Structure 1
Amino acid sequence: MRDAELPQTLLEWYDRHARMMPWRTPPQDKCAGVRPDPYRVWLSEVMLQQTTVAAVRAYFHRFTERWPTVAQLAAAEDGDVMGEWAGLGYYARARNLLKCARAVAQDHGGVFPDTYAALLTLPGIGPYTAAAISSIAFDRAETVVDGNVERVMARLYAVQTPLPAAKSELTALAATLTPQDRPGDYAQAVMDLGATICTPKSPACGICPWQAPCKARAGGIQTDLPRKTPKKAKPTRLGIAYLARRSDGAWLLERRPDSGLLGGMLGWPGPVWGDAPVDAPPMLADWQRLNVEVRHTFTHFHLILALRVAEVPMDAAPDTGHFLTPVDFRPSDLPTVMRKAFDLAQGMT
């Protein structure tokens, strides 16, 4: 099979086997004239960054039910959006989501621009997301390369260079296959191929539409590719979370600064995480040490949080944060690490 034939072969496979996604316009619907909604494409691409499809589905449904259009999302309260995002991780995405929605609403009349270059000018949209939106939403012939596509290209062409050094080489190879006809469907087809057949472990080569031209399969090295440079061991940081509950059931919380890890999210007061925990309570109280700890892993480090709890009177005056009553406080609005602390404290007090 010649390289020129690969896109059409994959599109024929995609027409039969496309995954059903709440944000995707199926190929048969597109043939019937249904156009993808750029808002839903953009929202899904932001949510899917470093996150699995399975984890994103429920969040996508909640967001689109509560804010069906980019204009409605742009008008939302920051705290409401951050609360709905809680648990999905990588919280800078949520902050950029609001910035981008507001830029589209204010500067583009609520309509997403349809070119790669114009999309790149929007907050939070980088080269990958701009290529994905312009391709999938507007059928522009842009090359979309995620981890699935990198794996497919590495195996198809038996690229031995390890990732991440191989990224530019794999992107160049992917660009040679990007078709002018149905580029949006093709982009999704390659990603589907990597997600369902050309998987990291035990690829189903026997049913792959590209099995014949695959150089890695021919050499019996498909499970060895793509090669990856070993990652450095993650360091461990330590900290303390202080959970104070007032006599009316209100909890002391603080909203973290917009910049930095967990930016803009609610959380328990506590000192900066570092090599050793620093005892720095947010107020005078009879703090009790719990014989449990929160363990959580972020992208670049592991975290271990010691827990302190205290029951405080109605006139308690904290040095930081504010009390949220049971009516205003939803544990589901907490990021995962803070929710772990809450759940442990609830079980121990």
Structure 2
Amino acid sequence: MSDTNNNIHTISILLQSWYPQHKRDLPWRHTSDPYLIWVSEVILQQTRVEQGYDYFVRFVRKFPDIWALASASEEDVLKIWQGLGYYSRARNMLQAAKQLVNQFEGVFPSDFEKILSLKGVGNYTAAAIASFAFGKPHATVDGNVSRVISRLFEVQHPINSTEGKKQLQSVADQIIDPVHPGIHNQAMMELGATICLPRRPKCEECPLQTVCMAHHHHSVASFPSKIVKTKVRDRFFNYFHIMHEHETFLRKRIEDDVWKNLYEFPLIETSGQVSLIEISDEEKFGKWFSKSHSLQFEHVVSMKHILSHQRIFAEFYRVKTEESIDHLPDLSFIKIDMADIEKYPVSRLIHKYLERFFVE
């Protein structure tokens, strides 16, 4: 990697000249409110802007400030978050809001280390809040910025390695404009999101083309390098949507697993794809259904749901019964009116099933 000092001043000038004419018009860019900036940054983690936009609008409409969020129930927060995935983000935000109320009297701290002390807030989010809201010279390094820096300076270390992350942060800290850190960070992120794309980057439109080492050496496609991800785990879920008139059963997932604290139908997880006859041999199946009569099982749909390190293969069965079931032997289930199911936060997988179910 060449000496970054040669290009620091040029990069800042080029970025800040390009950004005002090419930035996307997004609501969180019209505010210096640290709460709104925090909400937007957390929502946009692992989320496309197109999807995150609507969630941001709904979230701040429901929880317009720190106090409103801190006083909310976890179920209310998860319900607003439903379908966005990575639900630990929402749970952490709720805890952080309580921290802000209890430790900082409901006022967002401007100090980087204090922002970093909030639940779920890492270096990137703390830097974003510090620079966007308070004008502090802390460089934001997300996936987009990592790609830009990697190509600008031909960073050899994989960007997801410890060495690579340290190097990228070091370079980002060197090239940030201390006078206008917020604009600089926004411009770097926007460049990565719209121009310096993972595939088919628009080098001919890039304002940093003249100072980009990878472009100069015709090696853009070689950067950034990454360590191969861990193996994806396959899981097999069999859901039972029990129906008696307008009633059904739900259970909250409380284990440290996917979709913690979200609700779902009775579930039997198996080691592979199995038939209903094979599932009927499972202990849970006998426990739930052996004492009931006139049950009708109908396979409704098969669904595949992709998570970061898991693939969920789900089978949905409707279980119709003419007799009322007061409770399931497993007391963790609650009986609800189907009309009230919208009140319960569920995973995107269950939500997709319900969308299909209500259409039919």
Asked if these proteins are the same fold (TM beyond 0.5), I'd say yes
Name the residue aligned to 2:3: none
CA contact (8 A) 1:253 1:324 kept: yes
Of 128, 139, 148, the match for 1:132? 128
Cα deviation per residue 1:242-294 (whole Å; 9 max; x = unaligned)? 211231x1321112117431011111221356557764247324251516322
C-alpha separation in 2, matches of 1:287 and 1:297: 30
C-alpha separation in 1, matches of 2:7 and 2:304: 51
C-alpha separation in 1, matches of 2:102 and 2:269: 37
C-alpha separation in 1, matches of 2:82 and 2:222: 36
C-alpha separation in 2, matches of 1:325 and 1:302: 31
For the residue of structure 1 that corresponds to 2:224, the secondary structure is: coil
Query: Shift of the alpha carbon at 1:127?
Result: 1.7
CA contact (8 A) 1:155 1:222 kept: yes
Of 7, 10, 23, the match for 2:28? 23
CA contact (8 A) 1:23 1:44 kept: yes
Name the residue aligned to 1:205: 203
In the alignment, is residue 321 of structure 1 matched against residue 333 of structure 2?
A: yes
C-alpha separation in 2, matches of 1:327 and 1:337: 19
What is the letter of the counterpart of residue 342 of structure 2? Answer: R
C-alpha separation in 2, matches of 1:333 and 1:79: 6
For the residue of structure 1 that corresponds to 2:341, the secondary structure is: coil
Of 246, 251, 254, the match for 2:251? 254
In the alignment, is residue 300 of structure 1 matched against residue 309 of structure 2?
A: yes
* Structure-2 change in CA distance of 1:124 and 1:2 (3 Å): closer
Q: For structure 1, which segment, 338-347 or 213-222, has the greater mean C-alpha deviation from structure 2 after superposition? A: 338-347
Name the residue aligned to 1:266: 263
- Name the Cα RMSD after superposition: 2.2
What is the letter of the counterpart of residue 261 of structure 2? Answer: G
Cα deviation per residue 1:152-172 (whole Å; 9 max; x = unaligned)? 001101123333222222221
Cα deviation per residue 1:101-145 (whole Å; 9 max; x = unaligned)? 111122211111111100111111122211111111111111110
C-alpha separation in 2, matches of 1:82 and 1:273: 27
Of 178, 181, 184, the match for 2:182? 184
C-alpha separation in 1, matches of 2:117 and 2:230: 34
For the residue of structure 2 that corresponds to 1:302, the secondary structure is: strand
CA contact (8 A) 2:240 2:265 kept: yes
Aligned-residue sequence identity (percent) comes to 31
C-alpha separation in 2, matches of 1:330 and 1:157: 50
C-alpha separation in 2, matches of 1:80 and 1:109: 23
C-alpha separation in 1, matches of 2:304 and 2:205: 41
Of 243, 257, 265, the match for 1:245? 243
Q: For structure 1, which segment, 332-341 or 2-11, has the greater mean C-alpha deviation from structure 2 after superposition? A: 332-341
CA contact (8 A) 1:47 1:56 kept: yes
User: For 1:1-349, what aligned pairs fall within 5 Å after superposition?
Assistant: 2-25=7-30, 36-165=32-161, 166-247=164-245, 249-257=246-254, 259-272=256-269, 274=271, 279=282, 280-281=284-285, 283-284=288-289, 285=292, 286=295, 288-290=297-299, 292-312=301-321, 313-318=323-328, 319=330, 320-330=332-342, 333-343=345-355
Query: Shift of the alpha carbon at 1:15?
Result: 2.3
C-alpha separation in 2, matches of 1:19 and 1:101: 29
What is the letter of the counterpart of residue 61 of structure 1? Answer: V
Structure 1 moving runs of 4+ over 6 Å: none
What is the letter of the counterpart of residue 46 of structure 1? Answer: V
C-alpha separation in 1, matches of 2:347 and 2:121: 23
C-alpha separation in 2, matches of 1:187 and 1:174: 9
Q: For structure 1, which segment, 66-75 or 255-264, has the greater mean C-alpha deviation from structure 2 after superposition? A: 255-264
CA contact (8 A) 1:294 1:340 kept: no
CA contact (8 A) 1:239 1:271 kept: yes
Unaligned runs of 5+ in 1: 26-34
